[in-house]
Amino acid sequence: MTEGGTKVGIRGIIFDLDGVLVHTDQYHFEAWKRLAGSLGIYFDEAANARLRGVGRMESLEIILERYSGPPLSGQEKCALAEEKNRVYQGLLQTMNPDSVALETVDTLSALKGRGYRLAVGSSSRNAKTILDLTGLGGWFDAVSDGVSITRAKPDPEVFLKAAQLLGLPPGQCAVVEDAASGIEAACAAGMLPVGIGGAAGDGRCRCRLNALPELLTYFQGDTSILYGAALHSPR
């Protein structure tokens, strides 16, 4: 990418929160499992995998695909989602700075040291709570979350808002994601998609990571080369 004839690479890195910076999946799983159980719905890890990166109400609809009780009104569905969130928030209270891997903090610190502007881009309405409980919030120049957007991923809104808060054009931002919906949102935003975890195998990703510290091998020097062919971390 060029700007006024000068090569411009990535200047901002936007991180998804759940599944990338913190492992809250287990709490989402536990809370949805309890709700599903109360409705007589079978729920397991495979069903939970479909909810990764999916908004709260959309997740509820996926769970209700197996519901065979009397029809539920919109109000009842909202109450169910609130009940799940109440349990989830209770589980989140066990989180603290030790819930974050040391390599995650070291990676954020090194990227900041290299001059990158860092943001969180999460569909979660609990993102700020998680950032506060873990102490991760201090690493970020901007936070774009479920509270500040109207459309969850795969809509690009959350990432476009993050770039705006960073004061950068979308083309100068990379997105680190573990969910297909997030990679889709990053592509739709015109950002450089970086896959980790469940998204590492996604063919749309420019860089594929086995672990977060691998970002440091990609994000150094001239990052304009990242816009070229897809790069893969050696397995």
Residues that bind ligand BG6 (CB under 6 A): 17-19, 28, 51-56, 59, 85, 122-126, 146
Query: For residue 162, what is the enclosing H or E element?
Result: helix 157-166
- Give the one entry of ligand BG6, Mg ion, none that residue 178 binds, where binding means its C-beta sits below a cut-off of 5 to 8 angstroms depending on kind: Mg ion
Query: Whole-number minimum distance, CB 1 to ligand BG6, in Å?
Result: 28
Neighbours of 233 (CB within 10 A): 15
For the question of residue 18 being annotated catalytic, the response is: yes
Classify the C-alpha dihedral 15-181-2-222 as positive or negative.
positive
> Which residues of the chain form contacts with Mg ion (CB under 5 A)?
16, 18-19, 53, 178-179
Smaller CB separation from Mg ion, 41 or 128: 128
- Give the one entry of Mg ion, ligand BG6, none that residue 51 binds, where binding means its C-beta sits below a cut-off of 5 to 8 angstroms depending on kind: ligand BG6
For the question of residue 16 being annotated catalytic, the response is: yes
Smaller CB separation from Mg ion, 1 or 118: 118
H helices of 1-156, in order, are: 25-38, 45-49, 56-63, 74-92, 102-113, 127-134
SS3 label, residue 169: coil
- Give the one entry of ligand BG6, Mg ion, none that residue 107 binds, where binding means its C-beta sits below a cut-off of 5 to 8 angstroms depending on kind: none
* Phi, psi for residue 140 in degrees, rounded to 5: -110, 140
Q: Please list the active-site residues.
A: 16, 18
